[in-house]
Amino acid sequence: MTTNEIDQEWLDEPQHHIIAAESDDFPHLLRQIPDPPKQLYVVGNIDALHLPALAIVGSRNPTRGGRQNAYEFAKHLGRSGFCIVSGLAQGIDAAAHEGALDADAMTVAFLGHGIDRIYPAENRELAHRIAAGGALCSEYPLGSPPRKEHFPRRNRLISGLSLGTLVVEAAKRSGSLISARLAAEQGREIFAIPGSIHNPMSRGCHQLIRQGAKLVESADDIVSELGPMVGHLMQNAATEAPETGTSKHHDPDYEKLLQTLSYDPASADELAEQSGLTIDQVSSMLLILELEKKIEAQAGGRYARRPA
Among residues 177, 84, 168, the alpha carbon closest in space to that of 126 is found at 84
E strand segments, the chain: 16-20, 39-44, 53-57, 83-86, 107-110, 134-138, 164-167, 189-192, 214-215, 266-267, 295-298, 302-305
User: What is the number of alpha carbons within 13 Å of residue 7 lying toward its C-beta?
Assistant: 15
Distance, CA of 35 to CA of 139 (rounded, Å): 12
Distance, CA of 236 to CA of 214 (rounded, Å): 24
Q: What is the pLDDT of residues 94-115, one digit of tens each?
A: 999 999 999 999 999 999 999 9
**Helices and strands, number each (H, E), in the chain:** 12, 12
Q: What is the pLDDT of residues 180-206, one digit of tens each?
A: 999 999 999 999 999 888 888 899 999
**β-pairing verdict for 53-57 and 134-138:** unpaired
**Phi, psi dihedrals of residue 279, rounded to the nearest 5°:** -65, -35
Q: Are 117 and 145 in contact (CB under 8 A)?
A: yes
List of domains in the chain: 3-219 (3.40.50.450), 238-305 (1.10.10.10)
pTM summary value: 0.78
Q: Is 17 helix (H, G, I), strand (E, B) or coil?
A: strand
Q: What is the pLDDT of residues 115-173, one digit of tens each?
A: 999 999 999 999 999 999 899 999 999 999 999 999 989 999 999 999 999 999 998 87
Q: What is the pLDDT of residues 29-63, one digit of tens each?
A: 999 998 999 999 999 999 999 989 999 999 999 99
> In the 8-state DSSP scheme, what is residue 116?
T
